[in-house]
């Protein structure tokens, strides 16, 4: 004790272990996330401990066994991160989701690994045939049983019949959770999925078996998901006898989506919104809708886009995210449904190695996707096609030199030859497109250009060697941030990247960053290396998780 102890209000009382002097090793204490961290004054030198007890607010305590308490960080086990209601609703141990990447890039293996580890994944059903999606449904239902998982439902403005077919498939097999992506408003198939089977139980509680986690970047679309289903669409479903009148009546007491992911700057479809402004806006909207509609259960908002480091994960949780969603970084994992060549390109990517390019599914509308530009010419070639489409009314109006370049370097086929291939495709998928193209040469040109954009996202999956310069690889700047974080660790190589292992490292890192911030906010100057959590594997990772 010193003569100044009479002014001390906070004390640390030792436990079984002696305190460690100095802060150079305090990172060891912060890693023990299930234990509190105490910093005390030991004869004018800072010390730390993870046991003992704290006494707060008692002046003039004279204890020869105690030391003045300088700062305190409570335990933060991984299961305490995120929102309790969200985890309970989806039977999750951890608030971590591997988001859906189309063409089965978010594969059966990836979804299974997430479920087996207390997290959740969405199968990337977009771009796949009904038979391929059904095969994945059967496999996951057989392998996972009651463990949490979901499937992607992507808006299909050009093929609404496909959107309805996917919904009917999910209803047939009892898929109870979908990730709704790229929706610009509520559609009849989406509302049908949400409302089918809604009922009131014996206690008077409304039960909606089919749940939606919406992925949204625009506030006006988010408002529609947090609101009950549009009455006009509900009435149309009743008229078509797809839902009962009771289901229609109950529809106005539940939101279209209980949970909504604020999608910031991400790979694939994105508006490049900054997470720091997007998430607070979506959370404020969530609170307004909770109050306006007085739902029986709370709405929740998560964050996606840019989640790739412990710091970004911690920032999401600290801003109020109920859960975090990763995407681009998972594509470089061994469980992803892409090729080794693509994984290799992704592990070399830096934050500036991405670009925006026209989207195949909404080409005429000017929608865009974020893709990798390192190791591929796709962004440049796709942009060239879109500019040409905007400037002329038919392929015939294009200059001869440009025509030749398009046919030889991009289509690798004559325009008319390619059109004949496309006609065969649409005779099966949507004959109306052929009829429209016969009357409108600009639409015909769009369909041919779209075929290149569509196929360019398939070629990377099986590494079509002669098309490597045309690979469309969906990727956000988070990939570069992740690569920088794991540089020098075992995760630097793509063959070591496992989706659940990355998830655990991000969550542990987020907990450590949060606890370090608590100490810093109490006036503690921590060594710089304290905040540099390096990814762990094997038994070391398991020990931290199980604490």
State pLDDT tens for residues 217-235: 999 999 999 999 999 999 9
Under 8 Å between Cβ of 444 and 395: yes
Q: Are 172 and 142 a contacting pair, CB within 8 Å?
A: no
Average pLDDT over residues 280-308: 96
Cβ-based burial of 339 (10 A; exposed 0-12, middle 13-18, buried ≥19): middle
Q: Is residue 154 pLDDT above 50, yes or no?
A: yes
CA-to-CA distance for 168 and 125, rounded, in angstroms?
14
Percent share of the chain, pLDDT over 90: 83
* pLDDT band (50, 70, 90) for residue 506: very high
Q: Is the pTM of this model over 0.85?
A: yes
92-338 to CATH, choices 2.40.50.140, 3.40.50.410, 3.10.580.10, 3.20.20.70: 3.20.20.70
Q: Are strands 53-55 and 11-13 parallel, antiparallel or unpaired?
A: antiparallel
pLDDT for residue 60 is more than 80: no
Specify the pLDDT at position 130: 95
State mean pLDDT over 19-31.
90
156 pLDDT band, cuts 50/70/90, is confident
CB atoms within 10 A of CB 543: 12
Output the pLDDT for position 469. Answer: 97
Yes or no: say if 409 and 469 are a contact pair by the CB < 8 Å rule.
no
What's 408's DSSP letter? I
* pLDDT computed for residue 540 by the predictor: 84
Task: Select the more confidently predicted residue: 499 or 432.
Answer: 499
Q: What gap in Å lies between CA 233 and CA 238, rounded to an integer?
A: 9
Q: What is the pLDDT of residue 61?
A: 55
Helix, strand, coil shares of the chain as percentages rounded to 5?
45, 15, 40
Helix (H), strand (E), coil (C) string for 315-374: HHHHCCCCCEEECHHHHCCCCCCCCHHHHHHHHCCCCCCEEEEECCCCCCCCCEEEEECC
Q: What residues does each domain of the chain span?
A: 1-75, 92-338, 347-470
Task: Please name which of 179, 106, 155, 140 lies closest in space to residue 461, comparing C-alpha atoms.
Answer: 106
Helix (H) or strand (E) holding 136: helix 130-144
Mean pLDDT over each residue of the chain, to the nearest integer: 93
pLDDT of residue 509: 96
Q: Which of 368-377, 422-431, 445-454 has the lowest mean pLDDT?
A: 422-431
Burial class (CB in 10 A: 0-12, 13-18, 19+), 236: middle
Residue predicted with more confidence, 96 or 2? 96
Compute the average pLDDT of residues 83-95: 97
Question: What pLDDT sits at residue 7?
Answer: 65
Strands (E), 91-197: 96-98, 120-123, 150-154, 177-181
Mean pLDDT value across residues 508-532 = 90
pLDDT of res. 52: 93
User: Coil, helix or strand for 163?
Assistant: helix
| Res. 440: pLDDT tops 80 | yes
State which H helix or E strand residue 55 sits in: strand 53-55
Is residue 185 over pLDDT 70?
yes
Q: What is the pLDDT of residue 399?
A: 95
**Amino acid 62: pLDDT:** 56
pLDDT, mean of residues 440-449: 96
User: Does residue 63 have a pLDDT over 50?
Assistant: yes
Segment (H or E) for 114 = helix 108-116
Taking only the tens place, the pLDDT of each residue in 312-348 is 999 999 999 999 999 999 999 999 999 999 999 999 9
Can you give the pLDDT at residue 215? 97
Q: Quick one: pLDDT at residue 3?
A: 43
């Amino acid at each position: 004790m010193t003569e100044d102890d009479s002014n001390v209000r906070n004390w640390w009382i030792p436990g079984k272990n002696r305190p460690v002097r100095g802060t150079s090793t305090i990172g060891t204490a912060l890693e023990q996330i299930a234990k509190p961290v105490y910093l005390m004054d030991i004869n004018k030198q800072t010390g730390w401990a993870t046991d003992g007890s704290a006494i707060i607010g008692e002046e003039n305590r004279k204890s020869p066994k105690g030391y003045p308490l300088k700062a305190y960080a409570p335990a933060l086990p991984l299961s305490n991160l995120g929102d309790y209601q969200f985890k309970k609703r989806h039977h999750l141990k951890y608030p971590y989701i591997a988001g859906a990447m189309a063409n089965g890039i978010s594969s059966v293996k990836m979804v299974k690994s997430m479920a087996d580890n207390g997290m959740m994944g969405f199968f990337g059903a977009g771009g796949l045939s009904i038979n391929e999606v059904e095969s994945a449904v059967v496999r996951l239902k057989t392998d996972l049983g009651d463990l949490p998982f979901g499937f992607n439902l992507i808006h299909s403005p050009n093929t609404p019949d496909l959107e309805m077919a996917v919904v009917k498939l999910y209803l047939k097999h009892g898929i109870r959770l979908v990730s709704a992506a790229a929706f610009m408003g509520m559609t009849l198939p989406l509302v049908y999925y949400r409302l089918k089977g809604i009922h009131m139980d014996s206690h008077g509680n409304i039960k909606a078996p089919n749940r939606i986690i919406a992925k949204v970047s625009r506030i006006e679309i988010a408002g529609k998901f947090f609101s009950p289903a549009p009455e006009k669409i509900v009435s149309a479903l009743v008229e078509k006898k797809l839902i009962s009148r009771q289901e229609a009546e109950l529809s106005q007491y539940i939101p279209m989506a209980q949970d909504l992911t604020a999608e910031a700057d991400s790979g694939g479809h994105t508006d490049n919104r900054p997470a720091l402004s997007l998430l607070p806006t979506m959370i404020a909207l969530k609170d307004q809708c909770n109050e306006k509609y007085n739902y029986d259960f709370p709405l929740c908002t998560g964050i996606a886009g840019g989640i790739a480091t412990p710091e970004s994960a911690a920032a999401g949780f600290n801003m109020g995210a109920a859960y975090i969603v990763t995407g681009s970084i998972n594509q470089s994992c061994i469980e992803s449904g892409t090729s080794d060549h693509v994984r290799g390109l992704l592990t070399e990517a830096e934050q500036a190695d991405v670009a925006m390019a026209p989207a195949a599914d909404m080409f005429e509308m000017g929608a865009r996707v974020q893709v990798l530009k390192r190791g591929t010419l796709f962004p440049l070639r796709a942009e060239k096609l879109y500019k040409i489409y905007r400037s002329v009314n038919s392929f015939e109006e294009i200059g001869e030199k440009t025509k030749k370049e398009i046919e030889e370097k991009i289509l690798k086929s004559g325009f008319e030859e390619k059109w004949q291939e496309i006609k065969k495709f649409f005779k099966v998928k949507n004959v109306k497109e052929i009829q429209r193209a016969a009357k409108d040469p600009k639409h015909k040109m769009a369909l041919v250009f779209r075929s290149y954009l569509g196929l360019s996202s398939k070629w990377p999956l099986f590494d079509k060697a002669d098309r490597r310069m045309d690979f469309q690889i969906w990727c956000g700047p988070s990939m570069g941030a992740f690569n920088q974080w794991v540089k020098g660790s075992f995760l630097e190589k793509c063959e070591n990247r496992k989706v659940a292992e990355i998830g655990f490292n991000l969550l542990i890192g987020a907990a450590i960053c949060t606890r370090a911030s608590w100490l810093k906010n109490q006036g503690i100057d921590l060594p710089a290396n304290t905040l540099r959590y390096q990814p762990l594997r094997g038994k070391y990772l398991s020990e931290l998780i199980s604490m």
